[in-house]
Amino acid sequence: MLTKKPAIARWPAMQSALSECVLVLNRLWQAVNVCSAKRAFCLLYENHAHVVHSTDGDFSTLDFAAWCDHSEHLDEDVPAIQTVSIRLIVPKVIILLFYDRLPRKEIKLTRQNIFERDRHQCQYCGRTLSKQELNIDHVHPRHRGGSATWENLVCSCIECNSRKANHMPHEVGMRLLRSPNRPKWRPFLAIPRTRLNDSLCRHFLDPSLWEVEFGEESVS
């Protein structure tokens, strides 16, 4: 007769597996989100999604029943949950059957978001500093018609900001490390590096994927 001890020993591993991140595609095979394995299994069971599987570069989709069968033949050393009757491998990618849109969202123009876009690096001297040591600089000065836009604001250290003052960069012998641009919002900013390094996930991810979180602080 089985005791409860083995089941208790497996519980932390199961909890960890259910917390794994799964890449979510819309019906047009575009990456739109990241969800937990627990949520992915719910979508599969309710037939709102299928698992995306790749074999020798060919992609196929498997429903819940097919994935249950397929899981029995996959490696043991992968995240999985074990129920009384079946073993389920955590999928890497799922595709939604009925959702064909892309989420729409604008990244707010804030001081913190500019720091994140520029990776806390002064765009004139290249030093990486804490936000307490950084300012926001108008490339085209405000008193000369420069506006507060993504394309005209950059992260600047206090020293470079003072040196540039109300001049254009070229007027004081300074130049930008890179042209400031409006960042593109990605719905899967928090995807872990393990998924970024996975060949199946990388196939659906933009290579310029942002790896930063954006805040809500207003530009002063």
Which residues have CB under 8 Å from 27's CB, separation 6+?
95, 96, 97, 98, 99, 100
Q: Mean pLDDT across the stretch 203-216?
A: 58
**pLDDT band, residue 198 (cuts 50/70/90):** confident
Domain ranges of the chain: 10-96, 111-172
CA angle 94, 95, 98 (to 5 degrees): 145
2-6, 13-17, 80-84, 141-145: range with highest mean pLDDT: 141-145
Please check whether residue 51 is in contact with residue 118, taking contact to mean a CB–CB distance below 8 angstroms: no
Angle at 91 between CA 89 and CA 94, to 5 degrees: 150
- Nearest CA to 195 out of 205, 181, 187, 210 is that of 205
Assign 99 a pLDDT band (cuts: 50, 70, 90): confident
The CATH fold of domain 111-172 = DNA Binding (I), subunit A (1.10.30)
Residue type, 188: F
The answer to whether the CB of 63 falls within 8 A of the CB of 130 is: no
Q: What one-letter code names the amino acid at 168?
A: M
- Residue 16, pLDDT score: 80
pLDDT band at 103 (very low <50, low <70, confident <90, very high): low
Lowest pLDDT segment from 18-32, 36-50, 66-80, 89-103: 66-80
The percent of residues in the chain predicted with pLDDT above 90, rounded, is 46
Q: Round to the nearest angstrom and report the end-to-end CA distance of the chain.
A: 68
* Contact present, 106 and 185 (Cβ < 8 Å): yes
Q: Tell me the percentage of the chain whose pLDDT exceeds 70.
A: 78
Instruction: Return the DSSP state at 69.
Output: H
Residue 31's alpha-carbon distances to 23, 153, 189, in angstroms, are 7, 30, 11
Summarize pLDDT for 129-168 with one digit per residue, the tens: 998 999 999 999 999 999 999 999 999 999 999 999 999 9
- Please, what is the average pLDDT of the chain? 82
The predicted model scores a pTM of: 0.55
**Residue 219 vs residue 161, higher pLDDT:** 161
Sign of the CA dihedral running 70, 75, 80, 84: positive
Phi-psi region of 63 (alpha: psi -120 to 50; beta: other; left: phi over 0): beta
Ranked by mean pLDDT, which of 88-102, 177-191, 193-207 comes out on top?
Answer: 88-102
